[in-house]
Amino acid sequence: MRIFSGIQPTGQKHLGNYIGAIRQYVDGQDRGDAIYCIVDAHAISVSYDPQHLREFTLDTAATLLAAGLDPNRCILFVQGDVREHTELCWLLSGVTAYGDLTRMHQFKDKSAKQRELVSAALFTYPVLMAADVLAYRAHEVPVGDDQRQHVELMRDVAIRFNERFGETLVVPEHRIPEVGARIMDLQDPTSKMSTTSEAESGRIHVLDDPKVVTKKVKSAVTDSGSDVRRAPDKPGISNLIEILSVIQARSPESVEGEFDGQGYGALKGAVAEAIVDYLAPVRERYHELRHDEGELLRILREGADRARAIASDTVADVRDRMGVGTPG
């Protein structure tokens, strides 16, 4: 089985990224042929700074390696180093329905927040994401719950291509964790934790100092009442219960039972302590790795060479089936 997923190099990675995606990446190394991509080409679909993009790309690589990715057990590379992604994106746009793209929730959300240019790249973002996965004929895509619609689109694109041009592409399946697929913002628990959210205190970065983590958790928005239980009208407490259950590998029900009658303060203290302990090894390892920029670049370049060898075969088959270019 082949596994593929990509992660954007936009700002520091936060707890939602770590729980929803990165820990799945690490587990994937033991379940199949794992390929992971830092998707810098996706990052240019919104306003950005080129120098920051390069810095964040290396930051993201160091974070992934610190979390447990092993270049000897997976392929880790930067999307922009493998041009087959963008070529395949254009080829697949020929079998992607315009109407499907207009229904993408993420485009609607992000375009509404753009104060200047709403780029065509933001609109076609899902096609490039499809190309990212389909280029490697991946069977499984570990993602957070917010990417479910994008995986459905790439499945439709692969099926439509195969029906029109013959069996060429693998139709992938998403892998979304049952618990922790959608970690919410600490200050606005009705919205998912995000790099672009306005309140810095709403997200916990993987590299946050322990004191900062504790302060953010203890200032998290809570709900009316004092019962530690999950409920539709208690999004703040529900989020903290889910975070603790994921980190401690236990059921949300057991968390509710432990803190029954103790109130929100006790829960917040336990959540803060658990997050600090959970992220400590990654934070420490990150600083060791990030200082050796030459080694990071070596790993990423070698990964790109290995990735290109796979993607180029797929693109050659797609071009041939579509009749693009002169016959080889």
80 and 214: one domain? Answer: no
Residue 188 lies in a domain: no
Q: Is-above-0.95 flag for pTM? A: no
105 and 225: one domain? Answer: no
If one counts the domains in the chain, the total is 2
Residue 185 lies in a domain: no
Q: What is the pLDDT along the chain (328 residues), one digit of tens a residue?
A: 999 999 999 878 999 999 988 999 999 999 999 999 999 999 998 888 999 999 999 999 999 999 999 999 999 999 999 999 999 999 999 999 999 998 888 777 777 777 778 888 889 999 999 999 999 999 999 987 778 889 999 999 999 999 999 999 999 998 887 766 789 999 999 988 988 777 888 999 999 999 999 999 999 998 877 888 888 889 999 999 999 999 999 999 999 999 988 889 999 999 999 999 999 999 999 999 999 999 999 999 999 999 999 999 999 999 999 999 988 6
280 and 303: one domain? Answer: no
Q: Where are the beta strands (DSSP E) in 14-123?
A: 33-38, 74-78
**Cα–Cα distance between 55 and 83 in angstroms, integer?**
20
What residues make up the domain containing 261? 200-287
282 and 136: one domain? Answer: no
**Cα–Cα distance between 323 and 207 in angstroms, integer?**
49
**Cα–Cα distance between 287 and 277 in angstroms, integer?**
17
β-strands 173-175, 140-142: how paired? parallel
Residue 146 lies in a domain: yes
260 and 144: one domain? Answer: no
Residue 121 lies in a domain: yes
130 and 269: one domain? Answer: no
